[in-house]
Amino acid sequence: MIEARSLTKRYGTKTAVDGVTFTVRPGKVTGFLGPNGAGKSTTMRMIVGLDRPTEGLVTVNGRPYAEHRSPLLEVGALLDAKAVHIGRSAHSHLRALAATHSIPRTRVNEVIEMTGLASVANKRVGGFSLGMGQRLGIAAALLGDPQTLILDEPVNGLDPDGVLWVRQLARGLAAEGKTVLLSSHLMSEMALTADHIIVLGRGRIIADAPVAELVGSTTETLVRVRTPHVEHLQVALAAQGATVANNEPFLLDVTGTPIERIGELAASAGVVLHELRTITGSLEEAYLSLTRDDVEYQTDAAVGFDPRLIASSAPVTRTSQEEQR
Ligand SMILES: Nc1ncnc2c1ncn2[C@@H]1O[C@H](COP(=O)(O)OP(=O)(O)OP(=O)(O)O)[C@@H](O)[C@H]1O
């Protein structure tokens, strides 16, 4: 469990983290989101004692990190995968870390196997690809089999197999009852991995909720109807007070009427349906809507556009996001 209370970090006149209070609970994957510069890394660094809070307090498993006698057994962190002696092999890097906590050699071999590094374990870390470096960072975080894991951008540089592996790893650790805090800018991946989301914007918490709640409260849910009798159904729906958009031939997007009612209306009006389904918003839409006013480093191209356009760099259709649902 991670508990932050009024946690604040100022660098000179810059307030990187501004009085945040949150709890990261065991048995769940908690996604830590926010635009560039929002304060995620600074918060994570304070959790593991690499930065000292200007004000406030953060504890891991009930104590500040520095007060744990064997911190690697309490919390494993991947913060900067490049922070490794490049002349060492993966194996010797992990052995050296293990030695500081009397972690047995068998555990070193175990995490090397778990992270898929067995074939390169004796190679110099300096020659590692970005993805291999990430795997080594994750191996180091897992070494002490800690109750709490903090992974900053763990899928950065990983191939699709690696991304899937991190997802399964994070879910598996949470299923074992561990506390998992994970940051990523990949919203579709976060939607598949996290149970709970904390969003930071300009150093403050702008959302702290289960994924479904966050998406449900921030985005619109609509019912998509495909029918060869668009006009007929549109009239029937309008008579019920539904809001109906007809953006494509044979297709209606309906809000304000439950899906069951639409099916019943179609049946009683003798309207044939080729499709009837609920479309819920995505985590990406929810995130972009929440952080719209908190993006510090925005490109000119992004100003004034629909966030969905910025996210996909493509014309605004819901189709690409729907496919992920
Ligand atoms: N050592 C430092 N000295 C001065 N300012 C810093 C320092 N570290 C971070 N900052 C500033 O604090 C703010 C928060 O940075 P931080 O790296 O925590 O953001 P982040 O949410 O992790 O961003 P990103 O998604 O880009 O990694 C930024 O404005 C950053 O420039």
Q: Where are the domains of the chain?
A: 2-210, 222-279
Which residue among 11, 18, 295, 296 has the greatest number of ligand 1 atoms within 8 angstroms of its CB, and so is best to mutate?
11
* pLDDT score of 303: 42
Fold of 222-279: Alpha-Beta Plaits (3.30.70)
Which segments in the chain show pLDDT lower than 70? 81-83, 296-325
Ligand 1 and 281: CB distance under 6 A: no
Ligand 1 and 37: CB distance under 6 A: yes
Which residue among 32, 42, 80 has the greatest number of ligand 1 atoms within 8 angstroms of its CB, and so is best to mutate?
42
| Strand extents, DSSP E, the chain | 2-11, 14-24, 28-33, 55-60, 75-78, 148-152, 179-183, 196-201, 204-210, 222-226, 243-248, 251-255, 275-279
Look up the CATH architecture of domain 2-210.
Answer: 3-Layer(aba) Sandwich (3.40)
What three-state secondary structure class fits 278? strand
CB-count exposure of residue 104 (10 Å: 0-12, 13-18, 19+): exposed
pTM of the model as a whole: 0.84
Please tell me if the domain spanning 2-210 has the same topology as the one spanning 222-279: no
Residue % of the chain over a pLDDT of 70? 90
Phi, psi of 156 (to 5 degrees): -55, 120
